[in-house]
């Protein structure tokens, strides 16, 4: 399956600054929360989809028997070597693994850049019966904030294909054959100027993001507990969805 060159170029440009690009990226509490929801056993084999610089795998290191990372951007994955046992370059929509190869699959902030239905089907195909998939993705709080929030996310990353609400994560898993899907909430407090300083977008786009916050509707401002002053602060919602095969 061909790789989207826009996605690869975007994350290649972001690779040097990625680990400092948001609070949530290397938040130990979010990492611990993700581990707790997947409940790994020492004998488990974990697949980290869109492993990036390895900041999700880092939290599972030593808690599972083996970690395999998959990504399309080697400039990111080169930084993950300390946290994974094997790296495979390629798209998540066509994983080069036999069925039922993994006990756990995690994907944080990855399917928004993919053909997400195909990617999640692949996650469940390579999962062993009784195994668990965890998707961790930024979500709108609801219909009241989604138009403004999706515009902010679009401005931050032109490579983004998919924008989510919590029910979208549940739907993706259910369509892929999951049972017992539960979506947990995690709120990350983000400085918007830090969050938008990715190294891969223009200052014009960053100013566009600021403009959305400055003119935010009362509903958006309330749901996101937005603070606008010298710095703009947003309480960003993650859906942490777990489904069982």
Q: What is the domain-level CATH number for residue 63?
A: 3.40.50.150
Q: Establish if 227 belongs to a structural domain.
A: no
For residue 15, the model assigns a pLDDT of 87
Q: How far, in Å, are 173, 180, 194 from residue 226 at the CA level?
A: 31, 34, 15
Q: Establish if 218 belongs to a structural domain.
A: no
Q: Establish if 206 belongs to a structural domain.
A: no
E-state strands within the chain: 45-49, 66-71, 86-89, 102-108, 127-139, 179-191, 227-228, 232-244
Helix, coil or strand: residue 217: coil
Q: Establish if 110 belongs to a structural domain.
A: yes
Q: How many structural domains compose the chain?
A: 1
For residue 37, the model assigns a pLDDT of 97
Q: Establish if 209 belongs to a structural domain.
A: no
Dihedral sign, Cα of residue 187, residue 191, residue 196, residue 199: negative
DSSP state of 165: B
Over the stretch 133-152, which tens digit does the pLDDT of each residue have? 999 999 999 999 999 999 99
Q: Establish if 145 belongs to a structural domain.
A: no
Q: Establish if 202 belongs to a structural domain.
A: no
For residue 3, the model assigns a pLDDT of 81
For residue 44, the model assigns a pLDDT of 98
E-state strands within 140-231: 179-191, 227-228
Residue numbers of the domain that contains 13: 5-139+159-187+238-244
For residue 2, the model assigns a pLDDT of 74
For residue 124, the model assigns a pLDDT of 98
> pLDDT (tens digit, 0 to 9) for every residue of the chain, 245 residues total?
778 888 898 898 898 889 988 999 999 999 999 999 999 999 999 999 999 999 999 999 999 999 999 999 999 999 999 999 999 999 999 999 999 999 999 999 999 999 999 999 999 999 999 999 999 999 999 999 999 999 999 999 989 999 999 999 999 999 999 988 999 999 999 999 999 999 899 999 999 999 999 999 999 999 999 999 999 999 999 999 999 99
Q: Establish if 38 belongs to a structural domain.
A: yes
What pTM was computed for the model?
0.96
Structure-block tokens of residue 14: 């972001």
């Amino acid at each position: 399956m061909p790789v989207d060159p826009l996605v690869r170029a975007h994350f290649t440009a972001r690779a040097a600054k990625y680990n400092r690009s948001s609070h949530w990226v290397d938040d130990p509490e979010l990492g611990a929360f993700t581990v707790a929801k997947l409940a790994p056993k020492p004998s488990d084999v974990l697949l980290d989809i869109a492993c990036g610089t390895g900041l999700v795998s880092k939290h599972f290191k030593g808690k599972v028997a083996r970690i395999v990372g998959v990504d399309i951007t080697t400039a990111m994955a080169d930084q993950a070597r300390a946290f994974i046992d094997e790296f495979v370059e390629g798209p998540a929509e066509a994983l080069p693994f036999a069925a039922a190869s993994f006990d756990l699959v995690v994907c944080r902030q990855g399917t928004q850049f993919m053909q997400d239905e195909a990617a999640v089907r692949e996650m469940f195909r390579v999962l062993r019966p009784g195994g668990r998939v965890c998707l961790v993705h930024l979500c709108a709080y609801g219909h009241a904030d989604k138009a403004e929030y999706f515009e902010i996310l679009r401005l931050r990353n032109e490579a983004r294909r998919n924008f989510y609400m919590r029910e979208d994560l549940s739907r993706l898993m259910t369509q892929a054959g999951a049972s017992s899907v539960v979506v947990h909430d995690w709120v990350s407090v983000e400085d918007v100027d830090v969050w938008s300083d990715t190294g891969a977008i223009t200052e014009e786009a960053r100013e566009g993001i600021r403009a959305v916050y400055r003119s935010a509707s009362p509903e958006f401002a309330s749901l996101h507990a937005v603070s606008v002053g010298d710095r703009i602060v947003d309480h960003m919602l993650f859906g942490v969805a777990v489904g069982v095969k």
